Structure 1
């Protein structure tokens, strides 16, 4: 599936950005331009079921959505051999299964949803939250977000297909920590991360990943602490 994309910059280097669940390319409203200022041509996608990209096809959520489908879409849409690829949450999961074919020079997995088969990950929690969302709730849950980020969250959730959440636990064969990085890879974690425990972070270090934590940052690090997010990417961007 060809995905909707948004671009910033016209530099010689290419950076690929992949958002998390319930979001779309607009989550990168600050990071995209920041990379463009550093000489990148930045390409951000809307994953299937998100933003302006097509919805998945099939009779069930599992048929419409899943890590392999997300990864295949990235490969079909994005150029191989980019200098940088960044995936947040669900985007980190999608990038994991596409990285061997996309082969960026460097990959950043920002608080990646690699262990979505955990009992604590209840898809209906995402759906219930989205169906009753309000600006006041988003601001209360994310007190460090700018007003524009709160408004963006409401706008992206309005376009989001809830079946992307309902499909997650049907694809447990794609869950688990990677055995090794395919390309030089940074795992960037929130503090605390509810997706990657300290023990799992140490395991990833032992497997060859660089792991950095952004102190005090929530799951959507690039919106919760943008300066901390950028600082933790030193040497990678």
Structure 2
């Protein structure tokens, strides 16, 4: 019970890495806000947590809507008066290549970077009200090295790494830790979107990409969640301002 009596919020919490993180946080005693643009799916995840004896709330929020994010932050404060763990997990692959519209660029930037920045700001007082709060961002190995699939994705995920360093310094006097996870390939429903090909070609590209990973496979969402739990808990009480690659050794080469 590493998060007993803690309050946690997970964006993109209805599937993939976010769902695994939300479920694991609840398993370790946290009340979890499962936030997702798909409200029905978020409600299903929160219901599943409750059925297993955990505690969770669902919120259907489009993170591009800053007013909705502010209302969400206000609701957390009204419900609990604090937030112990903010897991800024939301992100999309975005448009490929350099030939994209302004609207596609803006959408990627809004979802991958702007939303997490402003949500963190809206919740800063709630984080200060907690005892040794933790903020976690989902970056990517594409923020550490170039992505052959989407320069925009690399740009936003690299920006997250810089943001984490700055926020860690700014919030350290308040005892708030800020870190990031940089997953490589993870077996989630969204993984095929990164390969931008037909189902048959996607499987070929996946196999070729996985062959480059020293451990020879993609991660499972639960493996990312375990690192998130480490960063959320007091096990990482002296860790701040860092990005942890969880990539099977891909960036070690």
TM-score (norm 1): 0.42
TM-score (norm 2): 0.40
